[in-house]
Amino acid sequence: MTTDILLEWIIKIAVVIGILLTAVAYLVLIERRILGFIQLRVGPNRVGPFGLLQPAADGLKFMFKEDIIPLTANKFLYVLAPTLILVPALMTFIVIPYGDSITIFGRTIPLHVTRFDVGLLYLLALASIGVYGLALAGWSSNNKYSLIGGLRASAQMISYELALGLSIVGVLIQAGSLDLVKIVEAQGGWYGLKWHVFYFQPLGYLVFFIAALAETNRIPFDLPEAEAELVAGYHVEYSSMKFAMFFMAEYANMITSASLGTTLFWGGWMGPGVERWPALSLVYFIVKVAIFLFIFIWIRSTMPRFRYDQLMRFGWKVLLPLALLNIVITATLVLITS
């Protein structure tokens, strides 16, 4: 490995992590403003012009709050749990291709941190590690509400990860690769509009989207932290920056889910004119991810929460059979059209 390649990787990682953390902070603000608009109220608008400094104020508040560790908690696991959730959430983004290659000062730079043949498996493996952090947070706090929240989170994520993984198999059958860049390139026909969501995979996309909502513990699947039942669930005993790490991990997972959904089903950076103007690829990717995230927020403001038995029944008796049906339909159509 040459020094230039290593330096390029370091710069890309620093830039991507910086942008991701900034996006997490401002996604919270955007969500609060959108929820305020939908619920006919103002939302945060006092700190800085149009409330743009609200994330900085929230960050300072978290840093200066007292960090409390319950006397009866398992201190090592209690401290480890937030890290075990946040670090994988940030690491997943290095394999997401967020644009085509661009040329700067005669040097061609691909718009992804790294690329390998099993990038999708890497992403799914890291995403599944988060469930350990949730379970450890619920158990190590030595609190009944936390324990119930951790158990719910474990059961829910394991159940919906199965549907999530199977919903992607149809895309893999069509693209013939686990490399995320090749999956995007396979959607480059029809003037950049041969997206999988239109091309054999509308059912797969529907299953993926619902499972992604459940995996990120978003309404209507936020049973692990249901305020009306469990106060705050697995992170009820956390405060200060440890609580902020749970918050950051949730929104980082939202961005990763939106980016993965965009890559697999919405054509990634593909769109009209990308071949002629490669810089458009980054714009297309950002716009698609923003639409995906807006739908997440819109659902939060309009949907009621499932009961826990309904949640589990829906995952095993509805989503799982639909994901398997999608695989059969995709394999049949690929066989007919090949």
Element (H or E) spanning 56, and its range? helix 54-64
Cβ neighbours, 10 Å, residue 83:
13
Between 175-184, 219-228, 248-257, 318-327, the lowest mean confidence (pLDDT) is in 219-228
Backbone angles phi and psi of 103, in degrees to 5: -110, 120
Asked if pLDDT for residue 117 goes beyond 80, the answer is yes
Element (H, E) at 103: strand 102-104
Q: What angle do CA 164, 119, 217 make, to 5 degrees?
A: 35
To the question of pTM greater than 0.75 for the whole model, the response is: yes
3-state class of 104 per DSSP?
strand
Q: Whole-angstrom Cα distance, residue 324 to residue 338?
A: 21
Task: Name, in order, each residue with C-beta under 8 angstroms of 64's C-beta and a sequence gap of 6 or more.
Answer: none
236-247 confidence digits (pLDDT tens): 888 888 888 888
User: First and final CA of the chain: distance in angstroms?
Assistant: 40
pLDDT at 229: 63
Q: Omega of the bond prior to 220 within 30 degrees of 0, cis?
A: yes
Question: Angle 54-64/240-265 helices, nearest 10 degrees?
Answer: 140
Residue for token pair 């999530």: 164
pLDDT for the residue numbered 192: 65
Separation between Cα atoms, residue 57 and residue 188, nearest integer Å: 43
Tell me the CA distances in angstroms from 198 to 171, 190, 194, 201, 204, one per residue in order. 12, 11, 7, 6, 11
d(CA 72, CA 328): 51
Q: What is the pLDDT of residue 280?
A: 85
More confident residue, 293 or 2: 293
At residue 226, the pLDDT reads 67
Instruction: Estimate to the nearest angstrom the gap between the alpha carbon of 315 and the chain centroid.
Output: 19
Report the C-alpha gap between 20 and 286 in whole angstroms. Answer: 12
- For 202, the 3-state DSSP assignment is helix
Cβ proximity of 84 and 126 under 8 Å:
no
More confident residue, 233 or 281: 281
Distance CA 38, CA 299 (A): 11
Cα dihedral 39, 56, 89, 199, rounded to 10, equals 50
Q: Which of 224, 259, 265 is nearest to 98 (CA)?
A: 259
Query: Going by C-beta distance under 8 Å and a sequence separation of 6 or more, which residues neighbour residue 25?
Result: 55, 56, 58, 59
**Pick from 337, 331, 338: nearest CA to 173:** 331
d(CA 166, CA 316): 12
Region 78-88 average pLDDT: 88
- Encoded amino acid at 152, one letter: R
pLDDT at residue number 156: 84
Half-sphere exposure of 167 (CA within 13 A, CB side): 28
